[in-house]
Structure 1
């Protein structure tokens, strides 16, 4: 089986880039789309939260402002520098992380669970499990079912100050696509090329189960935000 690892990811444009092709400057400019509100509505007030793949802090800042005790993790020092002293930060690849402590909630957003590398997906989810308190849960952001079939090269939409476009999308079988997305601001342009795998709900839930997680609830109408608990652990136990 072909391994669609992030070694095949890339990006173009000005400034620093992360290992998986993300532009630090571009991600620091991207607007939020209500993601933090979903998280704040799903966790107890004042909860401790481990944010995996925090990037430039687009979600970190509103989560901290909402009263959560956030620890932000990213493998890019340049990304974490954008967060500053908003929250404690940890420089680490997600799959290697072992802080020796657990949190009320662990957050894996930005569709990281849709990596096309099955082995990496398992490691990401294992990191979530080992950092989740017995009565805590994991919050995940996943692609909606059939997303890749609804996209085609040339699709363009406006997201605040940036025009986003599908430069190319190449289906590679088994739900995997290689996609190049363009981001055009008034003064700068970037692209990001990456592999991702659409996981219909049964396959997504099976991946969670393999890691010892079970869906507790789908949090949004499009079923892209999910709350999961460690299997065999009941809330309040």
Structure 2
């Protein structure tokens, strides 16, 4: 995750920090959850995947192990240095241009679609449409419907704790989010702006980029499969 609009960062943990405030070491410690299985169940076996905002390869590596061919994109060289087994491209998502290349699957995970900058949000979705094959799909991970009001909340990982400490309204559609990452030997905090979609505004944003929702992949509504519209 390395494309969110940054509002601030602090911490006592080791390692470099990306321009948007992501601690590389935190993402190296965080193991993949159910995401690789969700992705694999929604796309053809052996598909080519363009992973946007790949970070350190948290999803890249298990997808490669499942037989997918992955092109991994991130703007942070510190993140990309940890990606193995995939072609890597250093670029912001919204500015990505891979010529005539098209992919069976374009993956926009890590809630990047909620970027606090409207131009960046729109640019990300256009990049998805620009690089998906005509018969391909775009997989998008989005926030739960109540995530800006159900705070504080926390989840435990294998080695630490992730706490969404607050979500302060900035305007009618945007919140300033404070997340705390705690481990036995390190602690990081990150602040960023997150846009709150309704179902209607989410579908409208996709439509503006030439995409349409095909199906919701998970019971909590956080994973969506979209298809290109001519």
In the superposition, the TM-score normalised over structure 2's length comes to 0.93
SS at match of 1:10: strand
Number of equivalences: 225
Residue in structure 2 matched with residue 122 of structure 1 by the alignment: 122
> 5 Å matches for 1:77-88?
77-83=77-83, 85-88=84-87
> 5 Å matches for 1:157-176?
157-176=155-174
The reply on whether 1:231 has 2:229 as its aligned counterpart is yes
Residue in structure 2 matched with residue 72 of structure 1 by the alignment: 72
Residue in structure 2 matched with residue 55 of structure 1 by the alignment: 55
Question: Once the 2 structures are TM-superposed, how far is the Cα of residue 141 of structure 1 from its aligned partner?
Answer: 0.3
SS at match of 1:129: helix
Note the alpha carbon deviations across 1:157-186, whole angstroms, 9 max, x for none.
Answer: 322211122343312232311111111111
Question: Within 2, Cα distance between the matches of 1:12 and 1:188?
Answer: 8
Q: 1:212 aligns with which of 210, 213, 226?
A: 210
Residue in structure 2 matched with residue 107 of structure 1 by the alignment: 107
SS at match of 1:8: strand
SS at match of 2:162: strand
The reply on whether 1:10 has 2:9 as its aligned counterpart is yes
Question: Within 2, Cα distance between the matches of 1:136 and 1:156?
Answer: 35
Question: Once the 2 structures are TM-superposed, how far is the Cα of residue 95 of structure 1 from its aligned partner?
Answer: 1.0
Question: Once the 2 structures are TM-superposed, how far is the Cα of residue 8 of structure 1 from its aligned partner?
Answer: 2.7
Question: Within 2, Cα distance between the matches of 1:230 and 1:223?
Answer: 20
Question: Once the 2 structures are TM-superposed, how far is the Cα of residue 156 of structure 1 from its aligned partner?
Answer: 3.5
> Structure 2: which 5+ runs fail to align?
none
CA contact (8 A) 2:72 2:89 kept: yes
CA contact (8 A) 1:11 1:17 kept: no
Question: Once the 2 structures are TM-superposed, how far is the Cα of residue 7 of structure 1 from its aligned partner?
Answer: 4.6
CA contact (8 A) 2:137 2:227 kept: yes
Question: Within 2, Cα distance between the matches of 1:195 and 1:168?
Answer: 12
Note the alpha carbon deviations across 1:86-129, whole angstroms, 9 max, x for none.
Answer: 21111111111111111001000000001121111110001101
Question: Within 1, Cα distance between the matches of 2:148 and 2:166?
Answer: 12
Residue in structure 2 matched with residue 150 of structure 1 by the alignment: 150
> Structure 1: which 5+ runs fail to align?
233-237
Root-mean-square deviation over aligned CA pairs: 1.4
CA contact (8 A) 1:48 1:68 kept: yes
Question: Within 2, Cα distance between the matches of 1:17 and 1:79?
Answer: 9
CA contact (8 A) 2:35 2:59 kept: yes
Residue in structure 1 matched with residue 95 of structure 2 by the alignment: 96
Question: Once the 2 structures are TM-superposed, how far is the Cα of residue 11 of structure 1 from its aligned partner?
Answer: 4.3
In the superposition, the TM-score normalised over structure 1's length comes to 0.91
Question: Within 1, Cα distance between the matches of 2:201 and 2:18?
Answer: 29
Note the alpha carbon deviations across 1:119-157, whole angstroms, 9 max, x for none.
Answer: 1111000110110011101100001112101113xx433
SS at match of 2:55: coil
CA contact (8 A) 1:11 1:23 kept: no
